[in-house]
Chain A
Amino acid sequence: MIEATISFMKQYKNNKLGLVGLGLLIFFVLIAVFAPYIAPYDPHQRFESTEHPSSEHPLGTNHVGQDILSELIYGTRVSLFITLFASIAAVSIGILIGLVAGYFKRFNFSLMRLTDLFLTIPKLPIIIIIAAFMRPSVWNLVFVFAIFEWAITARIIRSEVLTLRHRNYVDATRLFGAKDSYILARHIFPYVVPLVFVQLILVSRYIILAESGLSFIGLGDPTAKSWGMMLHDAFVYPTIFISDLWMWWMLPAGLCIVLLILSFMFIGYALEEIVNPSLKRSPWI
């Protein structure tokens, strides 16, 4: 396992795009973790409203007089928290269902029909309607995303488990009387870990996009503003486009979302090249 990790890191190190993506992600994570130390003000503290950038407020203030730079820094926390928590939850559900469906034949049919159901269901409209009827909160968003984003992971993990289940060494372990739980934990799960990472990144990318969209149309948590929520505030402000306000109010938050998505994309490409060597001659120059 340790050897595999080291060789994995060596391979990853040679992928420039992957390194850029990882660097960006670490940058955002650091900002999120140390937000209280970096941000010049408490994001709820009020000053004069819609002030232009100055030495006191590098990105000005918003419609209710909150410092935009501080909002942006704390927004990193909210956006990353929802994205990472929801994707970890969704992928965990996916792993569980994929492992069980792939390993235990009797659950295969029912679990796969359930997975098909969740793959066909129009996710985003349902997420929007549920979010609209629930009290807008960070946890509710995490919950809805987790429930509707696990299906692809389950599919992928299951097909991998199907090929692993009848490898010789697994059969041999079973002959020696190993329990299913032992085989799953020791001989099957470690081999799907790389896939799990790929899925985490793919799902994260989808969730940050969906979360910012939901917040943009007004379904975000008004007490913990994400980047999407900042864009919502900026967009509904009447003179946002006529004045220069958009430059420091809208642009930074939007670019943060773009950069985070790019970082997930780059990490995803790098991981996929390592996990799926047949893609080596794929388009990523």
Chain B
Amino acid sequence: MQTNIITKIVGYIIIIFIIISLNFFLPRMMPAGPLSGLTSSTQQVSEQYIMYIVDLMHGDLGWSTTKNAPVWDVLMRSIIWTLLLVGSSTAIYITLGILLGAVSAWKKGEKTDVGLLILFIAMAAFPPFFLGMLFIIYFGWRLDLFPRFGAQTLYIDYSTAFGTLLDILHHLFLPALTLTLTSIGVIYLLTRNSMLNVLDEEYIRTARAKGLGEWYIIRKHALKNAMLPIITLVALIAGLVITGTIFVETVFAYPGVGLLVSDAISAHDYPLLQGAFLFFAFAILAVNFTADRIYELLDPRVKEE
């Protein structure tokens, strides 16, 4: 167990090193161009590398040419929106995915089950940015139900906190729906699948024979045993959802870090792109690491090995 954890931690350290080094060397491998001013220096590359890491530790990520501000400040302004978007969609797709997966398994073969199955399989085939564009066209322009861009209405001063909250939720709805729908399929299918397997087990039959209610059985006996694989999967999907914000925020002009990525690419604002890259890379690593630890806590078998 001890060596297992050590190899894992060493692995994470190597990955962090790779990420930081990529960030340092990529601009230096480009042919001299408009960026050479950024990199040309009389110092040795090794000195520059050390300087770079020291700067990084101090939160100095360079100067964003398009936003005309330190990259760190630009990121800090945007992170809150990305966290809000990722957090809300993650909460929704996990609860809804597990709930609907359980319902589907319970009603196997009935209309509800087949309908949900077809809906979620179809949604899994939609790239998030395409689904988002369709939502903007239909809910944004045709029905005019939701705002078409941004995270807040500009130049409106709501007198109450509740009004501001409603406005933020109103803007959040479509982007969060897009992210949720494109990532819910896997978790729904897995829950449905493992529930179907569990529902056939002897102890479920025993519970039924004891006269326990269906919902109680599902919650206490079936879902509990289906949880472990679901958690592994959540880590996997979390990575997809986090990177998914790059596309969804671009479509909805939602002012998070994902929008910074596509803005930086189209404006060739490389320092900003690199800062956003660090954010995404470390966010995914952190999620994976946490999921690993939770998995160990829940499944004693992992520890014994």
A interface list, Cβ under 8 A from B:
113, 116-117, 120-122, 124-126, 128-130, 132-133, 209, 212-213, 216-219, 228, 231, 235-236, 241-242, 246, 250, 254, 257-259, 261-262, 265, 281-283, 285
Q: List 17 A-B contacts (CB under 8 A).
A: A113-B11, A117-B14, A120-B15, A120-B285, A121-B15, A126-B281, A133-B27, A235-B129, A241-B137, A241-B148, A246-B133, A246-B137, A254-B130, A262-B122, A262-B125, A282-B193, A283-B192
Chain B residues with CB under 8 Å of A219's CB are: 265
Whether A125 lies near B277 (C-beta < 8 A) is: yes
Given contacts A121-B18, A124-B243, A216-B129, contact A265 B11 (CB under 8 A): no
Q: How far apart are the CA atoms of A32 and B19 in the complex, in Å? A: 37
Whether B247 lies near A129 (C-beta < 8 A) is: no
Given contacts A116-B11, A126-B22, contact A132 B189 (CB under 8 A): no
Q: How far apart are the CA atoms of A257 and B134 in the complex, in Å? A: 14
Contact with A along B223-257 (1 / 0, CB 8 A): 00000000000000001000100110011000000
Q: How far apart are the CA atoms of A282 and B121 in the complex, in Å? A: 14
Whether A128 lies near B261 (C-beta < 8 A) is: yes
Chain A residues with CB under 8 Å of B273's CB are: 129, 132
Q: How far apart are the CA atoms of A265 and B134 in the complex, in Å? A: 22
Q: How far apart are the CA atoms of A246 and B274 in the complex, in Å? A: 32
Chain A residues with CB under 8 Å of B274's CB are: 129
Whether B114 lies near A217 (C-beta < 8 A) is: no
Say yes or no for B29: interface residue by CB 8 A criterion. Answer: yes
Q: How far apart are the CA atoms of A282 and B11 in the complex, in Å? A: 35
Say yes or no for B154: interface residue by CB 8 A criterion. Answer: no
Say yes or no for B46: interface residue by CB 8 A criterion. Answer: no
Chain B residues with CB under 8 Å of A257's CB are: 127, 130
Given contacts A124-B243, A129-B274, contact A235 B262 (CB under 8 A): no
Given contacts A120-B288, A125-B280, A283-B117, contact A217 B262 (CB under 8 A): yes
Quick one: closest A residue to B200, CB to CB? A281
Given contacts A124-B243, A217-B246, contact A258 B126 (CB under 8 A): yes
Contact with A along B91-125 (1 / 0, CB 8 A): 00000000000000000010000100100011011
Q: How far apart are the CA atoms of A258 and B273 in the complex, in Å? A: 29
Whether A254 lies near B277 (C-beta < 8 A) is: no
Quick one: closest B residue to A125, CB to CB? B280
Quick one: closest A residue to B114, CB to CB? A285
Chain B residues with CB under 8 Å of A121's CB are: 15, 18
Chain A residues with CB under 8 Å of B109's CB are: 285
Whether B11 lies near A120 (C-beta < 8 A) is: yes
Say yes or no for B164: interface residue by CB 8 A criterion. Answer: no
Most chain A CB neighbours (cut-off 10 Å) among B22, B129, B288:
B129
B183 → chain A, closest Cβ, in Å?
12
Chain B residues with CB under 8 Å of A122's CB are: 19, 239, 243, 280-281, 284-285
Whether B281 lies near A218 (C-beta < 8 A) is: no
Chain B residues with CB under 8 Å of A129's CB are: 22-23, 26, 273-274, 277
B interface list, Cβ under 8 A from A:
7, 11-12, 14-15, 18-19, 22-23, 26-27, 29-30, 109, 114, 117, 121-122, 124-130, 133-134, 136-137, 140-141, 148, 189, 192-193, 196, 239, 243, 246-247, 250-251, 261-262, 265-266, 270, 273-274, 277, 280-281, 284-285, 288
Quick one: closest A residue to B246, CB to CB? A217
Contacts A117-B14, A126-B277, A218-B265 given; 15 further ones with Cβ under 8 A?
A117-B11, A122-B280, A122-B281, A129-B273, A133-B270, A216-B247, A217-B266, A218-B262, A241-B133, A242-B141, A250-B133, A254-B130, A257-B127, A261-B126, A282-B193
Chain A residues with CB under 8 Å of B19's CB are: 122, 126
Chain A residues with CB under 8 Å of B148's CB are: 241
Which of A116, A213, A250, A281 is within 8 Å of B247, CB to CB?
Answer: A213
Given contacts A124-B243, A285-B117, contact A133 B266 (CB under 8 A): no
Q: How far apart are the CA atoms of A219 and B285 in the complex, in Å? A: 24
Quick one: closest A residue to B104, CB to CB? A283
Q: How far apart are the CA atoms of A216 and B246 in the complex, in Å? A: 10
Whether A235 lies near B133 (C-beta < 8 A) is: yes
A117 → chain B, closest Cβ, in Å?
6
Q: How far apart are the CA atoms of A281 and B109 in the complex, in Å? A: 13
A203 → chain B, closest Cβ, in Å?
15
Which of A130, A217, A231 is within 8 Å of B130, CB to CB?
Answer: A231
A20 → chain B, closest Cβ, in Å?
12
Most chain A CB neighbours (cut-off 10 Å) among B125, B126, B141, B273:
B125
Whether B288 lies near A130 (C-beta < 8 A) is: no
Most chain B CB neighbours (cut-off 10 Å) among A129, A130, A254, A261:
A129
Whether B247 lies near A265 (C-beta < 8 A) is: no
Chain B residues with CB under 8 Å of A235's CB are: 129, 133, 251
Chain A residues with CB under 8 Å of B128's CB are: 213
Q: How far apart are the CA atoms of A126 and B14 in the complex, in Å? A: 15
